[in-house]
Amino acid sequence: MANPLKVAAGIAIRGVSDAALAKAVQGKIILVTGASEGIGAATARRLGRAGATVLLAARTRDRLDEVAMEIRRTGGTAHVYAVDLSRPEQAERLGMDILREHRRVDVVVSNAGRSIRRSVADTADRFHDVVRTADLNYLGPVQLLLTLLPAMRTAGAGHIVNVSTAGVFTPAPNWSAYLASKTAFDVWLRCAVPELRRDGVTVSTFYSGLVRTRMSAPTAYLGRMPAMSAEEAAGAVCRAIARRPRTLQAWWTRPGEVIAHAFKGTVERLLSWQPARPPTGPVRLARLLLASRRYGWTLAAALASGRDREVALIDRFGTLTRGELRAAARDCAGGLVETFGIQERDRVGIRCGSHRGLVVAAAAAGLLGADAVLLPRGSAALRHASGGTGAADSMSSPDHHTDVPVVADDQTWSTLHGPAPERPRVPGRLTVLTSGTTRTPRGVRADVSWSSVIGPALAHLRHIPIRRGRPILVATPAYHGYGLTYLAAGLALGAPVILAPGNDLAGALALAVEHEPTAFFALPEQLAVLAALPGADRLPARTRIVTGAEPLTAELSARLLEVFGDRVFNLFGSTEAGWAAMATPADLRAAPGTVGRAPRGIRLAVLDQRGDRLPPGEVGAVHVGGWQPGGALVPTGDLGHFDRAGRLMLDGRA
């Protein structure tokens, strides 16, 4: 019997006593489809103990034989029928075999089903999923009943129990194929009931809530929701057999159905909003907002919130707390003033590798309200200063009339010391050089607003969580826009950032094994090396692998999925246009090498030379909208096309 508390909460349905069930089914012939596991197997076992002759139907004979043996060991009678009910001709043959061998069937429990959770977008090139789901959930059961019903109607008795789902009452994003097929069979039965009643055949429908079975296991979020056990659900099915109610459903489904039908537009708008778990608490978010107004979109703002004692950074030199990073940034800021006379709106070049020096120097510039320009080593934008102090190189400013100091690599940043600066009157800025693939590298600053960031950020965090206290590993160069994004995100949200040397993937793997990061950010070429390492499978199972900034070939995409499984994500964007798209593991399996679709709040467009949008399959220039004021489309410098499912495929550089 179901737990009374679960019944009261609407999680489970009341069952029926063994005595009442035995009285109702003793000597009856009962067909149970989908009887090899889950609800079907649990129902069959209980019916067998109650004295029914149970006909077990499902695809897998071995599991059916196991259920049949369990029934026989308890003194029951069971017969096995291995059949694929998704094929209507086999469903018809099953009905004919049953009538030939047993002359009648008293009760049919229509339980076999296929569950599928897939968005409409992902179904665009997988129509076969719709067909297979409809075949098993609708067409097969209808064909079976059309074969068995004439004998029931001739006998003037019979009962059908449809194991349906409470999901048919309300729309549910990503479940369209499944719920449409279950609704189709439900409506077919509802229309048939008036005809069948005249001949003594009754119908019960069990609108089941969530049941903890193998069918629900692949959907991770369902594992965190309250659910019935298979035995509790079987108790409800047995109640339907013994009591013959027209429907069995949890109390909350009736008002839910009324609301869903009376306020369709409102309900659909609410369901279209997909909230993500907040990446951090409201206090920290408020401090981040205040810091971004004070220091701009800089690493100084990212470091502003959080506790001094929490670990903020791990690099080849060791571990730094947030307090230690803040103190070092203030000291370095004082040194920039003392050594170079840096003031608000001055420009400071930073040519550090992926280590604490870059973080300290960039944050120091932000504390001064200066413009920090992140430069790769050996950048063509640099020239050595002749006759300088020896403390730094210099970089030509945009007007070419003055030189600005470049805080050099590992040694120079640590030699800058001075008193802590006053709070700047204007926010600082952070500039990243473009890749220079198609033209001379140039600095790009992102002028974005909180409102434009929230949608894409939440969409991103839904797939790739960055949480306080849970580390992330960044193997991508931190002076690159891709690496900098996740360095800043980790610092801002309180996730310890592991800056791994990008040329030592064995070391990066060792760090990942030691710290178990939630995500591993690396370039495709780095992941190719990682996948080839002995022991690559030691990468912690919960670590998501995120790549981007460079093309991911179809061959490498398939290789990464083979080695690491369904936890590889491919991001697409450019320094000029910002983050534009994300490919999930499902996308990469369906279309290897794809960069996926745009997140909420971002628009992707493929345009021809006249600026007109091109249809799927035609190659044009890729543009991104959503980051710039007014939603202006910005070219990424890439050529690409959309596939039938709306996924972006890249075809080269423009």
Q: Are 166 and 208 in contact (CB under 8 A)?
A: yes
Could you list the beta-strand ranges (E) of 115-232.
158-165, 201-208, 211-212, 228-229
Active site residue 486: no
Give the Cα separation of 576 and 637 in Å (integer): 9
Between the CA of residue 450 and those of 31, 288, 289, 293, 580, what are the distances in Å? 59, 11, 8, 10, 17
The residue with tokens 């320094």 is: 575
Q: What is the maximum span of the chain, computed from C-alpha positions, in angstroms? A: 108
Between the CA of residue 520 and those of 58, 497, 585, what are the distances in Å? 42, 10, 15
Nearest CA to 357 among 334, 393, 328? 328
Q: Are 365 and 348 in contact (CB under 8 A)?
A: yes
Q: Are 392 and 524 in contact (CB under 8 A)?
A: no
Give the Cα separation of 498 and 355 in Å (integer): 9
Q: Are 467 and 511 in contact (CB under 8 A)?
A: no
Counting every residue, how long is the chain?
A: 654
Structure tokens at 84: 């694929």
Give the Cα separation of 485 and 468 in Å (integer): 16
Between the CA of residue 175 and those of 139, 219, 249, 520, what are the distances in Å? 18, 11, 20, 31
Query: H-type helices in 320-425, by residue range?
Result: 322-340, 356-367
Dihedral sign for Cα atoms in the order 526, 531, 536, 542: positive
Q: Which helix (H) or strand (E) holds 402?
A: none
> What is the CB neighbour count within 10 angstroms for residue 28?
18
Structure tokens at 464: 């790739």
For residue 15, the SS3 value is: coil
Give the Cα separation of 71 and 64 in Å (integer): 11
Give the Cα separation of 579 and 571 in Å (integer): 8
The residue with tokens 């919130």 is: 305
Axis crossing angle, helix 38-49 with helix 61-73, rounded to the nearest 10: 30
Q: Which helix (H) or strand (E) holds 175?
A: none
Catalytic residue among 178, 295, 479, 486: 178
Dihedral sign for Cα atoms in the order 627, 628, 629, 632: negative
Backbone angles phi, psi at 369, to 5 degrees: 75, 25
Give the Cα separation of 520 and 156 in Å (integer): 66
DSSP type of residue 59 = S
Residue type at 72 in one-letter notation: R
Give the Cα separation of 572 and 529 in Å (integer): 21
End-to-end, the C-alpha distance of the chain in Å comes to 67
DSSP string, 431-483: EEE---SSS---EE-----HHHHHHHHHHHHHHS---TT--EEE-S-TTSHHH
For residue 19, the SS3 value is: helix
Structure tokens at 134: 């409809």
What amino acid positions are annotated as catalytic residues?
178
